[in-house]
């Protein structure tokens, strides 16, 4: 042989030359190498994870502080102002007037001379 791992004879039979023993194959993967200086982690986070967590927490705090300067965002009050009444009216009109008559759009006499509710936008 000229240094190959296996040879084929004239009959086409495969002849392994350097095959490992079956006992050697059972030990594969049991002695996996471990990095000698693997960094220890607290709570499963690396330094990059802690920096990311800090930036997200700081950004969340800044947004809540900007949006909620008086502390009313998480208080038990009724939200008022703007067009909130229109957003409450739409589903109520759909529930009370349109769906009982098996319709998805319809004319409403509300808001001045009326308008086609759920026809263009709602």
Q: Using the CB atoms, write b or e for 45-71: b if 16+ within 10 Å.
A: eeeeeeeeeeeeeeeeeeeeeeeeeee
CA distance 35 to 106: 71
Residue pLDDT, tens place only, 4-15: 555 555 565 655
Residue 107 domain-assigned? yes
Residue 92 domain-assigned? yes
What is the residue range of 103's domain? 85-117
Per-residue three-class SS string for 7-24: EECCCCCEEECCCCCHHH
Residue 13 domain-assigned? no
Output the six-digit token pair for 77. Answer: 């009050």
In this structure, the number of other CB atoms found within 10 A of the CB of residue 117 comes to 22
Q: Would you state the pLDDT for residue 24? A: 55
Residue pLDDT, tens place only, 59-108: 999 998 898 877 777 777 767 777 777 788 889 999 999 999 999 999 99
Q: Would you state the pLDDT for residue 29? A: 57
Residue 104 domain-assigned? yes
How many independent structural domains does the chain possess?
1
Residue 97 domain-assigned? yes
Residue 95 domain-assigned? yes
Q: Would you state the pLDDT for residue 60? A: 95
Output the six-digit token pair for 118. Answer: 């759920």
CA distance 2 to 27: 30
Could you identify the residue written with the tokens 């095959």?
19
Output the six-digit token pair for 13. Answer: 């039979």
Residue 110 domain-assigned? yes
């Amino acid at each position: 042989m000229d240094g190959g791992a296996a040879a084929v004879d004239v009959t086409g039979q495969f002849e392994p030359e350097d095959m490992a023993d079956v006992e050697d194959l059972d030990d594969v993967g049991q002695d996996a190498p471990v990095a000698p200086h693997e960094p220890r982690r607290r709570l499963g986070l690396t330094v990059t994870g802690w920096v990311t967590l800090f930036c997200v927490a700081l950004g969340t705090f800044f947004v809540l502080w900007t949006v909620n300067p008086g502390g009313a965002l998480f208080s038990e009050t009724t939200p008022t102002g703007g067009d909130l009444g229109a957003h409450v009216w739409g589903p109520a009109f759909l529930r009370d007037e349109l769906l009982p008559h098996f319709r998805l759009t319809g004319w409403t006499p509300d808001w001045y001379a009326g308008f086609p509710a759920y026809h263009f936008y709602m």
